Amino acid sequence: MVTVSLYARVSSRQQAQENTIESQIVELERRIGSDGHELLDEHKFIDNGYSGSSLERPGLESLRDRVAEGKIDKIYIHSPDRLSRKFSYQMILLEEFKKAGSEIVFLNHKFDDNPDSHLFLQIQGAIAEYERAKIMERNRRGKLHAAKAGCISVMGRAPYGYRYIAKHVGEGSAQFEVDEEEANIVRKIFSRVGQERASIGEVVHELNKIPVITRTGKRYWKRSTIWNMLKNPAYIGQAAYGKTRTCSKPQVKKSKKELVVNLKVVALIVIKRIGLIFQYQK
């Protein structure tokens, strides 16, 4: 008996909410049935709302574990870009599955272990990476334009004390709405720190003692959470977009003189430690 499984993925949160992944699953199940195989529910590996640019996905991790244990003979996937948008990641996964003895079946592409099939897969992978980069750039520029126009929709979610009202729910535009229950906590925090000069540690202790539930449903507040609230401009009516950005770490080259000094310091430390060892032995 051949043990089969399926893997399906959609990346965006909107796709996950609209259940667009269901169409993938239906097509995969239909193909599995036409091939004469039986699919168990426990062998459906699904990542709903996870980006294909990362391999850290719960459904994919479970699939890889089962494959490594030798429990999966065939894996049905809609297309290579459902595995990953990066060709290098696709190759890592395909090689991993092949070594474990699992066969890969793509619905829109017949994959054979030959040069022609690998070339076609490389072309598909390159196109998928290009499409992802293009989508990300359009999304970035679109959000930047919306932010400059004063649209709150670029924020995605509201800070503690507010509720995010989506465009289709509000009056034609996204907005923040005050949540009175959370807003009272925010006022107390600002009052304690700004007027009564209490420390952040004291505020955290008081919130944990009551206790007050955080936005994520936890009963324990952290100092960093309070600090981020205190410096968030949204509490003075100014929502800020693009405050942080990813950049490469600058490489600082040390001069030869600094290296020589560092080596001397290390040598002195070593000599002192050797001296202590000799004294201990005596």
Lowest mean pLDDT among 134-143, 201-210, 262-271, 272-281: 272-281
Mean pLDDT value of segment 130-145:
77
Domain residue ranges of the chain, discontinuous segments joined by +? 4-131, 162-236
Asked whether the predicted pLDDT for residue 69 surpasses 80, the reply is yes
| Average pLDDT score over residue span 54-71 | 91
* Model pLDDT, residue 218: 84
Which has the higher per-residue pLDDT, 82 or 278?
A: 82
Q: Six-digit token pair at 141?
A: 């520029």
Q: Where does the pLDDT of residue 37 fall: very low under 50, low under 70, confident under 90, or very high at 90 and above?
A: very high
Examine the pLDDT at 259 and tell me if it is beyond 70: no
Residue-level pLDDT at 277: 44
Q: Is residue 10 classed as helix, strand or coil in its secondary structure? A: strand
- With 90 as the cut, is the pLDDT of residue 7 above it? yes
Q: Which CATH number fits domain 4-131: 3.55.40.20, 3.30.360.10, 3.40.50.1390, 3.40.50.410?
A: 3.40.50.1390
Average pLDDT, the chain: 80
Identify whether the C-beta of residue 108 lies closer than 8 Å to the C-beta of residue 34: no
Bigger pLDDT: 124 vs 211: 211
Give kind and range of the element (H or E) at residue 175: strand 175-178
84-122: pLDDT as tens digits: 878 788 888 888 998 999 988 988 766 666 666 666 666
Backbone Cα Rg of the chain: 28
Q: Which of 69, 121, 57, 77 is nearest to 96 (CA)?
A: 69
Look at residue 51 and tell me whether its pLDDT is greater than 90. Answer: no
* Distance (Å, whole) CA 115 – CA 184: 65
| pLDDT above 60: residue 79 | yes
At residue 210, the pLDDT reads 86
Instruction: Please tell me the distance from the alpha carbon of residue 42 to that of residue 69, in angstroms, as a whole number.
Output: 15
Where is average pLDDT lowest: 151-155, 160-164, 198-202, 227-231? 151-155
Predicted confidence at residue 154, as pLDDT, reads 78
Residue in the structure block whose two tokens are 């909410």: 17
The confidence score (pLDDT) of residue 108 equals 75
Distance CA 232, CA 43 (A): 45
Write the pLDDT tens digit of every residue in 173-232. 778 888 999 999 999 999 999 899 999 999 999 999 888 888 888 888 999 999 989 988
